[in-house]
Amino acid sequence: MLYVGAVALLGAAALTAAFVASGPPQQTTWLAWLVVMTLLVSVGPPQVVGRIQLFSSGLFTIAAVPLVGPVGTAIVSVVPVLAARNEPIKRVYNTSIRILYGLAGGAAYALAGGVTLGTTPLPDAAVLALAGRMALAAVVIATVNIVMLAGIVRVTSGASLRAVVPDLGRTIVPGYSAYLVAAFLLTVLWAPVGLGAFAALMGLPCLAVAQWALRQYVAEHETRQSVLAAVLNALDVRLPGTREQGEQVARVAEQMARVLGLAPRDVETLTTAARLRDIGLLSLPIAELDPGRPLGALDGPLREHPRAARQVLGELGFLADALDIIEAHHERVDGSGYPRGLRDAQIPMGSRVLAVADAYVNLVLPIGAHPALTPEAAVAACLDAHGHLDPAVVRALQVALERGMPPLAGAETAGSAGSAGRAAVPGAAVDHAHPDSPRTVPR
């Protein structure tokens, strides 16, 4: 609450200072049209894909910078908040950060020599200069947005800014890049070409089609997530606790993938595979999943559960890449894994990352009667696994921890008493046989 209050005061002070310094927007008719256009594309809830909220209004915020100045940009930027149905505290915070990044973008444009445009045609050199100044404004707007959002994430979750800021950047920057291109075209048609608000009206049908396509994509994404949720619920009924552990493995795998520089699509595929990594267990008889079974029985059907995942979910085409990762996530770089005995580069990178993430979570959580290791001891155990795990991937885990990867719920921390009873065993198994199997048995 204190953070939100501080941001609100800063936003109000900045808006007041900008109004005193530059006065109200001169092009009030243009401002009114921009507000109307922004309101039109803000009606209804934002499209959400995973943790990402997608707003089409960003292009009007960037276009407002050269058309109506800093104060006008701040006004345009807050319109989506007025159209949204949020709790009062969220409205206050969202309004404040939008005022701040609108004013910051306008100030950056002005400091770079930009002026509020009129209807006078621009020479080619001036158009190129306009593009550069708008690009600078977009960078500043995106940066302020990322910093302010990272602050609220830090306050509410305790996550490290070193981990949050890059993640938000990967989410926000691509959207602003697209907004910048559309905003530049709109601005040139609006002012120098002289079409005014008609330029935006011409673009509304295209924007409507784009929003329709986005809604179709979001609907498809939500359908896929519903299917995955149903499958995971079925697994959790069979093996209680499996879903939550899968979510934790997915979080660790995602952080490691970021360190390794995997593409966003590959990161999403990897996290899906992490959540579904044990889905092949659904194909096994109940007797095979008895926690009391001797570990020697790993030579039996249990070793086939990575391959069995394809039998369970093979008809879902959108999971094809995730199933490739799942099938090889018990392979080991020295060739000692299963089901195919792959080694080194024969094992997909996603499978190598998932193997390390799975091992780490299995070591830092107190599962069954086995106490947990601290994160540092768990990493040491993974490094000492005598060729089972890819050392480069384990180092990525180490870097993710150094960058402030949030601790897992229920995990031990450095110096905690719970880790004292369990030492890291060089060459020990760091992958699971089934949810209650000992984690210090050679494989």
Domain coordinates in residue numbering, the chain: 2-220, 239-419
Residue 43 half-sphere exposure toward CB, CA atoms < 13 A: 7
**Tokens 């926000």 sit on residue:** 172
User: What is the per-residue pLDDT for 420?
Assistant: 40
CATH, domain range 239-419: 1.10.3210.10
Determine the straight-line distance between the first and last CA of the chain, rounded to whole angstroms.
51
User: What is the per-residue pLDDT for 106?
Assistant: 94
pTM of the model: 0.61
CATH, domain range 2-220: 1.10.1760.20
User: What is the per-residue pLDDT for 296?
Assistant: 42
Residues 6 or more apart from 187 whose CB is under 8 A from it? 63, 66, 67, 117, 130, 134
User: What is the per-residue pLDDT for 410?
Assistant: 60
Residue 9 half-sphere exposure toward CB, CA atoms < 13 A: 6
User: What is the per-residue pLDDT for 156?
Assistant: 75
Measured distance CA(292)–CA(368) in Å, rounded: 11
Angle, vertex CA 372, rays to CA 332 and CA 231, nearest 5: 60
Report in angstroms the alpha-carbon separations of 258 from 164, 312, 341, 378: 11, 29, 28, 20
**Tokens 């989410």 sit on residue:** 171
C-beta separation of 162 from 404 below 8 A: yes
What are the pLDDT tens digits along the chain (443 aa)?
Answer: 788 889 999 999 999 999 998 888 878 999 999 998 888 877 755 555 444 455 678 889 999 999 999 999 999 999 988 877 778 888 898 899 999 999 999 999 999 999 888 877 778 788 899 999 999 999 999 999 999 888 887 787 666 677 678 777 877 787 788 888 888 988 988 888 888 777 777 766 766 666 666 666 667 777 888 888 888 888 888 788 888 889 999 999 998 998 888 877 888 899 999 999 988 888 776 555 555 444 444 556 677 788 888 888 878 888 899 999 999 999 999 898 888 889 889 999 999 999 999 999 989 887 666 678 888 899 998 988 767 899 999 999 999 998 888 777 665 554 444 444 343 333 333 444 333 333 432 24
2-220 and 239-419, same CATH topology: no
